[in-house]
Amino acid sequence: MQGTLEKVCSDVLEKIKPKPEEREKIEVLAKALEKKVAEAAAEYGVKATVRLEGSVAKDTWLSGEPDIDIFMRLPKSIPRTSLGETALKIARKATQGAKQVERFAEHPYLEAFIEGVRVNIVPCYDTRQGEWLSATDRTPYHTDYVKKRLTPKMRDEVRLLKKFMKGIGVYGAEIKVGGFSGYLCELLIIYYGSFLEVLKAFAKHKQRVVVDIESHYKGREDELPLLFNEPLVIVDPVDIGRNVASAVQSQKLYTFVAATRAFLEKPSLKFFYPSETKPLTVERLRETLKNRGSTLLFIVFGKVKAVPDVLWGQLYKSQRSLAKLLQTNDFALLRHTVWSDEENLNAFIFELESRHLPPVKKHLGPPLEKAEDCKKFLAKHSANPETVSGPYIEDGRWVVEVKRKFTDAVSLLEERLKDGGRSAGTAKEIAQVLSRGFKIFVNEEIAETYAENIEFAKFLTEFLSGKPKWLENTVKDG
Amino acid sequence: MQGTLEKVCSDVLEKIKPKPEEREKIEVLAKALEKKVAEAAAEYGVKATVRLEGSVAKDTWLSGEPDIDIFMRLPKSIPRTSLGETALKIARKATQGAKQVERFAEHPYLEAFIEGVRVNIVPCYDTRQGEWLSATDRTPYHTDYVKKRLTPKMRDEVRLLKKFMKGIGVYGAEIKVGGFSGYLCELLIIYYGSFLEVLKAFAKHKQRVVVDIESHYKGREDELPLLFNEPLVIVDPVDIGRNVASAVQSQKLYTFVAATRAFLEKPSLKFFYPSETKPLTVERLRETLKNRGSTLLFIVFGKVKAVPDVLWGQLYKSQRSLAKLLQTNDFALLRHTVWSDEENLNAFIFELESRHLPPVKKHLGPPLEKAEDCKKFLAKHSANPETVSGPYIEDGRWVVEVKRKFTDAVSLLEERLKDGGRSAGTAKEIAQVLSRGFKIFVNEEIAETYAENIEFAKFLTEFLSGKPKWLENTVKDG
């Protein structure tokens, strides 16, 4: 699988660059849709500028994965509250007969499937640069900027970068992924010049990366670290106040950095085309979990009524809160993650050193210097039945040994989640679902759920390994 | 037991101030001994200045506990190596017929028991102030200084302070205790004026206490914190370079501070006369240890041939090293202590949250910033059979889950101590004894040893409670 860097890149490009016939099909389809949307708007008497945007417009899309984004720029006179409805009405008419799904980002938009191609019909306001009324208003300006700055060669470099990021799991600005957007990939190629130069730059990553392509902050570069606090800052060429990388989670940035290093050292197609995960057999899973030594807890619950970005935002928030709850109660947390099919099955997964904790722990009181606090501490603990030993002085502070409130992680979670867990920090929609019921499975007790859901099985198999796929193929023989 | 501060102090003083008949007996005995030592020296042709020193000379001794210290100041011409032998020879002759024990501090000296009174006959060099050849050379100067500065009233204040410190367990400069010496008590009374004022000063203790009675450092007080780094600094009035409190362990200082506060709040005789410990019955001990929840490990071993100061120094050093060994291997150490009868029974005691640890732990690798370290880490752990999960990225660094080397604290200790444990940091003499054999008892397995040794039983009973006795009687109703 290994090869020279040039060979790997040209092999990948051969696969991901759309061939003339595919390109023609998409361009014809896009043109036809532009026309239909414009006609539908006119029929409804809405003054709309309709235009193709996104990766197809910029010619940075990947073969087999075209997304046709048709934007309609609407007059600022339309109120924010009815923008979505107006647009949906037009979009529905324009794609009549096709499979239609209403989606929601900042405002509603329509997703339709035509000739097997996903089409997004999205409204925005027709504003001047800098006078944005909604987040999507910038998109036409992004398209113009990228088209102006990208040479044909650079478009292929964007494709390579996108495919690499997809392969290692850091592509996509949606909350679920928290990774790099297509526009961000394009800007990186514009700034660094090529796929290889982007990789080289990130492989050297030490502290923060700050890129200001259009020199918006020329002469006052010192202000940048104060204005933006994310670890990766790419100033939007069309909006001085916006960091295009603000939604990139540090985990994704670090994964990208680590993968660039591994790839530069041993280039391989595997980075772009990771092998399919073969889930463990149920029998093997049972055995693995039985003998692993750690404890895996699965909090399994049902459907949450929310669009994906809201769902994942709430899942992540709740996951962090529950991790903190376990840690605050002294459980040694190895890892935690969350899984959702965005439909009927959701699961928080916590890997602990042990489900049980010893019944006694040390409780540190105030240092001797704080006389008043010491007095209160002694009054509270000196004749307390929960005190196993002490109070005694250690390293200049009062200390007691006390009984632990929770020695079983399952009891702790059951107790704190029975009302949904809002007080433990679970997000609102999640708490509602939890309050109606959930199940906690320990280790091999998850086997039945595992057996019933192949995607969950793949996810859990990968989680148990823990190792990124691209790592498996690069340093095994190190 | 509680009373006004004045009443408590006068009650204590009534008991500890020597009555005329006791005083006379001791003074007569001391005079006679001075004479005998001087005569013995003359007989051996040694030019010695013989004089009574210590608490009897300074009239700060406690009724029932006189220690007669007879010092012989010998010419500087006697070599250091033969100073002890010369002195022992004279001392033996002077106390012929009495029970004699050879002791060793900086050099050998003789302890004898005459008419039920402990007598120490100690050699030192007859030097001028500041030209010390050995540590004991300062003693006559200390005696002179204290006699000059203490009024009769202040001598009683010294007695109160000493008795208070004895009662709470912080009196004594020997290594075993690491507390306050008699001379230190006298200096504190000279500086603060009275027992009560000493208590008040230490009750307010915040950071360091630095006292320079004779203003040796007048005009350059700033230098003091740099010259001495102990938490309590009392510059010796007869030696500008010496901190009289240098041997006071911070644990003893803090205990004194905490006790002064408790006493000032609720004065009680209990501080001076703690109740005798009633050891738990063996049956009760078994039950207590079985139900406590924590794990107590006892490393029991036999006779160490060393004088007490050396023995305790090595015991403490070894105890600290073994505590560190357990902690480095992730065992949650609640407390640790050491017991010795200074004869045939020694025991390190470790209280752990649990004897056993879960088999898997998280091992943090280098942060992504350190590219070379990451490469080494991945090479080491990526295909290692000890790796349970990962390597994966977490909070910007590589991490693996690995199997623990030791999951049983007893196995760890047995493995590391089988050759005496020098590599684990045990002191030389202790390691020698350990290498010849030791036993590890877990929880109630100690019952037999406990049943055989009343002093050990008392010690362990107190350790299990953890609470200082003076605390029991002061804040129970807080």
- pLDDT at site A478: 33
Q: Given an 8 Å threshold on Cβ–Cβ distance, is A369 in contact with B207?
A: yes
Distance separating alpha carbons of residues B420 and B406, to the nearest angstrom: 19
Query: Cis link prior to B75 (omega < 30° from 0)?
Result: no
- pLDDT at site A243: 96
Distance separating alpha carbons of residues B425 and B411, to the nearest angstrom: 17
Tell me the three-class secondary structure of A296-312, residue by residue. EEEEEECCCCCCHHHHH
- pLDDT at site B117: 95
**Sign (positive/negative) of CA torsion A241, A242, A243, A249?**
positive
Distance separating alpha carbons of residues B81 and B227, to the nearest angstrom: 31
Q: What is the token pair recorded at A412?
A: 């702790």
The CA-to-CA distance between both ends of chain B, in Å, stands at: 16
Distance separating alpha carbons of residues B158 and B61, to the nearest angstrom: 9
> What is the predicted ipTM?
0.90
Token look-up 């009343």 returns B454
Give the H or E element holding residue B5: helix B5-16
Which chain A residue is nearest to residue B471, measuring alpha carbons?
A: A382
Which chain A residue is nearest to residue B400, measuring alpha carbons?
A: A466
- pLDDT at site B477: 38
- pLDDT at site B402: 96
Given a cut of 70, is residue B293 above it in pLDDT?
A: yes
Residues of A in contact with B254 (CB under 8 A): 368, 393, 396
Which chain A residue is nearest to residue B262, measuring alpha carbons?
A: A375
- pLDDT at site A273: 97
Which residues 398-427 in chain B show a CB within 8 A of chain A? 398, 400-401, 403
Name the residue facing A369 among B206, B471, B478 (closest C-beta): B206
Q: Given an 8 Å threshold on Cβ–Cβ distance, is B478 in contact with A354?
A: no
Min Cα separation A408/chain B (Å): 14
Name the residue facing B334 among A293, A396, A401 (closest C-beta): A401
Render pLDDT for B251-288 as a digit per residue (tens, 0 to 9). Answer: 999 999 999 999 999 999 999 999 999 999 999 999 99
CA dihedral of B368, B371, B377, B380, whole degrees rounded to 10: 150
pTM: 0.87
* DSSP secondary structure letters along B153-176: HHHHHHHHHHHHHHHHT-B--STT
Q: What's the average model confidence in pLDDT over B398-417? A: 97
- pLDDT at site B474: 47
Min Cα separation B274/chain A (Å): 16
**Sign (positive/negative) of CA torsion B212, B217, B220, B226?**
negative
Distance separating alpha carbons of residues B285 and B279, to the nearest angstrom: 9
Rg (CA), chain A: 27
Contact present, B231 and B208 (Cβ < 8 Å): yes
Q: Is B394 on the interface with A (CB under 8 A)?
A: yes
Residues of B in contact with A466 (CB under 8 A): 389-392, 400-401
Q: Is A228 on the interface with B (CB under 8 A)?
A: no
Render pLDDT for B319-344 as a digit per residue (tens, 0 to 9). Answer: 999 999 999 999 999 999 999 999 99
Confidence at B114, pLDDT banded by 50, 70, 90: very high
Q: What is the token pair recorded at B158?
A: 């010294």
Q: How many other C-beta atoms are found inside a 10 Å radius of the C-beta of residue B83?
A: 20
Q: Is A294 on the interface with B (CB under 8 A)?
A: yes
Render pLDDT for B191-233 as a digit per residue (tens, 0 to 9). Answer: 999 999 999 999 998 878 899 999 999 999 888 888 898 989 9
Maximum Cα–Cα distance across chain B: 84
- Please, which residues have CB within 8 angstroms of residue B329's CB and are 6 or more apart in sequence? B357, B404, B405, B406, B409, B412
Low-confidence ranges of chain A (pLDDT < 70): 1-3, 473-478
Closest C-alpha among B86, B107, B110 to residue B96: B110
Contacts across the A-B interface (CB distance below 8 Å): 168
Q: Given an 8 Å threshold on Cβ–Cβ distance, is B353 in contact with A360?
A: yes
Which chain A residue is nearest to residue B461, measuring alpha carbons?
A: A389
